[in-house]
Amino acid sequence: LLHIDLADHHHHGHSLIHGLDPRTKLVGTLLFVLIASLLPPGAWVGYGVLFAATLVAAHYTGLGVGFAVRRSFVALPFALAAITLPFTVPGEALAHIGPLTLSVEGTVRLVSIMIKSWVSVQAAILMASTTPFHDLLWGMRALRLPGVLVSIVAFMYRYLFVLADEALRLRRARAARSGVAAGSKGGGSLAWRGKVAGGLVGNLTLRAFERSERIHDAMVARGFQGELRTLSAPVMTDRDWNLLVGWVTFLAMTALIGFIF
Amino acid sequence: MPIFTLLAPVRLHIPDGFLSLGVSLVGWVLAIGAIGYALRQTRGQLGSKQIPLMGVVAAFIFAAQAINFPVAGGTSGHLLGGALAAVILGPWAAVLIMTAVIGVQALLFQDGGLLVLGFNIVNMGVITAFAGHLVYQLLKGLLGPGRTSLLAAGAAGAWISVMLGAGATAIELAVSGTSPLGVALPAMVAANWVAGGLVIALAVAALSPLASPNPDGLERVAEDTGFIGAALEPLYTILPDYTLPFVSNPVLSGLLAVVVGTLVVFGVAWAVARWQRRAPG
């Protein structure tokens, strides 16, 4: 019942995209998302080009053209936040549902928002799937993100798996203590469940602090001085620069196309 | 997993495309300002021991969401987290911790967008940290010392921070022209009431005819459907011609949500209190 997929999102590989410098991928993804957000509502050609670009990029990750598409529906439920647009934006009537009127303008805006968010998520998925987390961290640091912040992220990631194990252990302990008679519903009253759940969370907090102290002591014992270091820093190769320049040119042209059509 | 996908809208992580570029940039300016100031504020106090502690609090906030039943914290864990981190380590450290949590959620889990990350940090990190901190300090001062007052203050801080974060999200969506304020604000706030108390919402939903259309189905599935019905319900109330019985539902589940949210925070605060007593200073 893990709500976050705690498995590492990185998919190992030796493709063109895997081999790029993490900085190239970070900057490229951010620019892609920026352009997707810049496009006006109803710029269907522009959206099509961006979607095609994610498919091509997915192909060059070696993970399969449909890789990102299959995983990209996570953000769509948020569309509920925009679902009222067809009803609230004034404009030409498209259809009537009971007392409500769907407007063309509102529907165009809703669909545009959903497409933009969908292609942006695909770009982010491709980046996260082709870059190991420590490389991403290194890239962030190299892009001048504050060291303290990157360190917190690094520790968080390090502890995340430890804590997820602790949480699972707590759940297992609870399950082991909670017998269910055949034919009856498990669990007690709502108040009881709330109390147990609160106890679990409280316990997890305690264990988290204890674990953090132990791990930190162990790191200090091994020479940790407050900064995470890497022995093999990636370098920006000619290929990185060429691809980045090509990518920027492509995105700029897409933006132009989006505004013209 | 599908359940949580459906619950995603109440988690306040705005995806890319939902905020206009201008609004996104304002969010980044605010977020960078807050993070920069937080870095300056914490610079003196951050020893080599403090950063792992912040990392573990961040990981805790992340991992606490892994216990999703019967804890109601799952959907609003990060929001309670902002207030929790502020209570433990102070508001400025909490801003940094929440930035780390929200940043990783966006980068790795596609939970929230990259361009809109600025406002996601502001909504769920900065606003929750300061709301949580201020309410906690205020109530602690009013109620005086003692465990009960500590717990009550922490619970109130966490809950108010959730509401403020939801309100801010609604305003940003409205300014971006994604969702009118009259619709987004009540929907967001109501949705987060329910999100804060999914368990109770489940019970309410099981009683409500809307949420259990198929009571003879698999028990588990019915429960899950109940969840979904409860979470989506507030969005129905925005339809003007809706009938009364359903309107009363989110209010009721909202009130009950307070109870469960409070219980969860009580548990956390109890642990913090015990931990502080055990290791003073």
Phi, psi for A198 (deg, rounded to 5): -60, -40
Handedness of CA B203, B208, B213, B216 (dihedral sign): positive
Tell me if A204 and B67 make a contact (CB, 8 A cut-off): yes
Q: What does DSSP assign to residue B126?
A: I
B276 in contact with chain A, both atoms CB, cutoff 8 A: no
SS3 at position B165: helix
Tell me if A4 and B241 make a contact (CB, 8 A cut-off): no
Q: Mind telling me how many Å the CA of A209 is from chain B's nearest CA?
A: 7
Residue of B16, B51, B268 with shortest CB distance to A148: B51
How far, rounded to the nearest angstrom, does the alpha carbon of residue B190 sit from its chain's CA centroid?
13
Interface test with A, best of B45, B60, B88 (most A CBs within 10 A): B60
Q: What is the mean pLDDT of residues B73-100?
A: 74
Interface test with A, best of B6, B35, B40, B56 (most A CBs within 10 A): B56
Tell me if B15 and A99 make a contact (CB, 8 A cut-off): no
B235 in contact with chain A, both atoms CB, cutoff 8 A: yes
Confidence of residue B8 (pLDDT cuts 50, 70, 90): very low
* Chain B residues touching A6 at Cβ < 8 A: 66
pLDDT at A147: 83
Tell me if B17 and A200 make a contact (CB, 8 A cut-off): no
Confidence of residue A226 (pLDDT cuts 50, 70, 90): low
Question: What contacts A241, CB < 8 A, 6 or more positions away?
Answer: none
By the 10 Å C-beta count (0-12 exposed, 13-18 middle, 19+ buried), A5 is classed as exposed
Question: For B115, what's the count of Cα atoms within 13 Å in the CB-facing half-sphere?
Answer: 28
Instruction: With a cut of 90, say whether residue B208 has pLDDT above it.
Output: no
What's the pLDDT tens digit per position in B96-140?
988 988 888 787 777 778 889 999 999 988 998 998 889 888 888
pLDDT at A166: 80
Q: Mind telling me how many Å the CA of B141 is from chain A's nearest CA?
A: 24
Handedness of CA A188, A189, A190, A193 (dihedral sign): negative
pLDDT at A186: 62
B180 in contact with chain A, both atoms CB, cutoff 8 A: yes
How far, rounded to the nearest angstrom, does the alpha carbon of residue A125 sit from its chain's CA centroid?
6
pLDDT at A77: 67
pLDDT at A172: 86
Interface of B with A in 190-209 (CB under 8 A): 199-200, 203
Residue type for position B73: G
Tell me the CA end-to-end span of chain B in Å, nearest whole number.
Answer: 41
What's the pLDDT tens digit per position in A46-85?
999 999 999 999 999 888 888 888 888 766 666 767 777 7
Residue of A155, A170, A203 with shortest CB distance to B56: A155
Q: Choose between B208 and B80: higher pLDDT.
A: B80
Residue A37 parent element (H or E): helix A22-38
CA-to-CA distance for B130 and B38, rounded, in angstroms? 12
Q: What does DSSP assign to residue A60?
A: H
Interface test with A, best of B26, B65, B67, B126 (most A CBs within 10 A): B67
B7 in contact with chain A, both atoms CB, cutoff 8 A: yes
Q: What predicted TM-score, i.e. pTM, was given to this entire model? A: 0.72
Name the closest residue on chain B to residue A160, using Cα atoms: B59
> Helices B198-207 and B219-236: crossing angle, nearest 10°?
100
Strands (E), A76-225: 93-97, 100-103
Q: Choose between B229 and A27: higher pLDDT.
A: A27
pLDDT at B64: 58
B217 in contact with chain A, both atoms CB, cutoff 8 A: no
Contact B10, A110 (CB under 8 A): no
Residue of A113, A164, A196 with shortest CB distance to B66: A164
pLDDT at B281: 40
Most confident of the ranges A7-16, A167-176, B6-15: A167-176
Q: Mind telling me how many Å the CA of A188 is from chain B's nearest CA?
A: 11
Contact B16, A120 (CB under 8 A): yes
